[in-house]
Structure 1
Amino acid sequence: MQVEQKIEISDAEWEVMRVVWTLGTATSRTLIDVLQEKMSWKAPTVKTLIGRLVKKGALVTEKKGRAFIYRPTIAEQRAIDDATTTLFNHLCQMRRGEAVHHLLGELTLSRSDIEKLQAQLAEKIKTAPEAVACDCLPADFKLKGGA
């Protein structure tokens, strides 16, 4: 059973997690082989990243004979949702729409993905405000002494 918790994952750790999420479970040897080919990383680098992910609680390990088998403790979609929410929380509320617009222009999406987005946007427009207010400063903030 996967435990749903928010764990901060570095860019390099994401690469390890992507492999484990895709495979479901992976041995350290498999992770080393995949990441050497994909990222040109050496075995010690991969082992360090695996160790960090185990310490953070993102991976659990089970020893089977001489091999260590790693399994994710967090669901991939949950990690993606947490990461994107964190990113968008750093952006001005007024700029989020433009960020999504730019992102959509950069991504390769399936027809199914696009149809889901169109349906979601069709629903959201029904209750969308004309404009979104800036949330960078407190509402009652006043500049003191000019600029």
Structure 2
Amino acid sequence: MTEKIKEHNISEAEWEVMRIVWTLGATHTGDIIKQLQAKKDWSESTIKTLMGRLVKKGLLKTRKDGRRFVYTATVTENQMMVQVTTEMMSHMCDMHKGQMLIEILHGIPLSQDDIAIMEQELAQKAKTAPKMVDCNCLSVHDC
């Protein structure tokens, strides 16, 4: 399991900033602004505000490089996605999680390699999977 991320509750706009930093790696403020302004109609001050929030949340860190700041993500994109998804799924009935994953699979792009790895993981999981997953919503009632 990955280490708990300090603050995973981020806005859609903050996700956009993080995606740029994850893609570019250690990058200067100006590069982030340039990339986001090419995608969004955001002002420089809006972008800097978003970056500052992400620093406060512990998801970005900064260092000085001469007169400029360099931003680096403190978590990987994969760590963030796993934690957010795991947290979301913790609020759902265990009995329905499998069907939800199947429905999600219908709408996302997957490579041949992704599918092969999933097949391997599912084959391993099938060895110890129960015939049916119990409801965990109520103590005496099935969903």
Alignment TM class, shorter chain as reference: 0.7 to 0.9
Q: How does 1:52-91 map to 2 (within 5 A)?
A: 52-91=53-92
SS in structure 2 at match of 1:71: strand
Partner residue in 1 for 2:106: 105
Deviation, 1:8, is 1.6
RMSD: 1.6
State the distance in 2 between where 1:71 and 1:127 align: 40
Moved more, 5-14 or 27-36: 5-14
For 1:96, give the aligned amino acid: K
State the distance in 2 between where 1:89 and 1:132 align: 15
Q: Deviations over 1:76-122 (max 9, x none)?
A: 22212111110111111111111110111000000000000111111
Q: Percent same amino acid among aligned pairs?
A: 44
TM-score between the two structures when normalised by the length of structure 2:
0.87
Structure 1 position 8 matched with structure 2 position 8: yes
Partner residue in 2 for 1:144: none
Q: How does 1:10-25 map to 2 (within 5 A)?
A: 10=10, 11-25=12-26
Residues matched between the structures, number:
137
Deviation, 1:39, is 2.9
Partner residue in 2 for 1:145: none
SS in structure 2 at match of 1:132: coil
Which stretches of structure 1, 4 residues or longer, exceed 6 Å deviation after superposition? Answer: none
State the distance in 2 between where 1:119 and 1:8 align: 29
TM-score between the two structures when normalised by the length of structure 1:
0.85
The higher radius of gyration belongs to: 1
Unmatched tracts of structure 2, length 5 or more: none
